[in-house]
Chains A and B, each alone.
Chain A
Amino acid sequence: MPLEAREISFRYGRKSPWILKNFSMTAEKGECIAVSAPSGYGKTTLAMLLSGYLKPEEGSILLDGKKFPKKGYCPVQLIFQHPEKAINPRWKLRHVLEEGGELQEELLAALGIEKAWLDRFPQELSGGELQRFCVARALLSGADYLICDEISTMLDVITQAQIWNVIRKEADMRNMGIIAVTHNKFLAERIANRMISISRYR
Chain B
Amino acid sequence: MKKKNRRTQFVILTAAGIFVLIAVYALGIFLPEEGIAGNFLNAGQPPSPEHPFGTDNLGRDLLMRTLKGLSASMTVGIAASAISAVIAVIVGVISAAGSGRADAIVNWLIDLMMSVPHTILIILISFSLGRGMKGLLIGIAATHWCSLARLIRGEVLQLRSRQYIAVSRRLGKSGGWILTHHMLPHLAPQFLVGLVLMFPHAVLHEASVSFLGFGLPPEQATVGIILSESMRYLSAGMWWPAVLPGMTLVLLVLLVDKTGDCLRIILDPLSIREEQNGR
Contact = CB atoms under 8 A, between A and B. Distances in A.
Interface of A: 51-53, 71-74, 77-78, 80, 82, 85-90, 99-100, 121, 123-124, 137, 141
A86 B172 contact: no
B170 A51 contact: yes
A80 B270 CA distance: 23
Contacts of B269: 89-90, 121, 123
4 nearest A-B residue pairs (beta carbon): A73-B172, A85-B163, A74-B170, A86-B163
Contacts of B166: 53
Nearest to A73: B172
Given A80-B163, A85-B162, A88-B182, A121 B171 contact: no
Contacts of B185: 90
B186 A90 contact: yes
Interface of B: 162-164, 166-168, 170-174, 182, 185-186, 269-270, 272-273, 276
A141 B168 CA distance: 11
Given A86-B163, A88-B164, A99 B186 contact: no
Contacts of A121: 269, 272
A149 to B, nearest CB: 11
B167 A86 contact: yes
Given A86-B163, A86-B167, A90-B186, A99 B173 contact: yes
Given A90-B185, A90-B186, A99 B168 contact: yes
Contacts of A90: 185-186, 269
A80 B167 CA distance: 10
A162 to B, nearest CB: 23
A141 B170 CA distance: 10
A99 B171 contact: yes
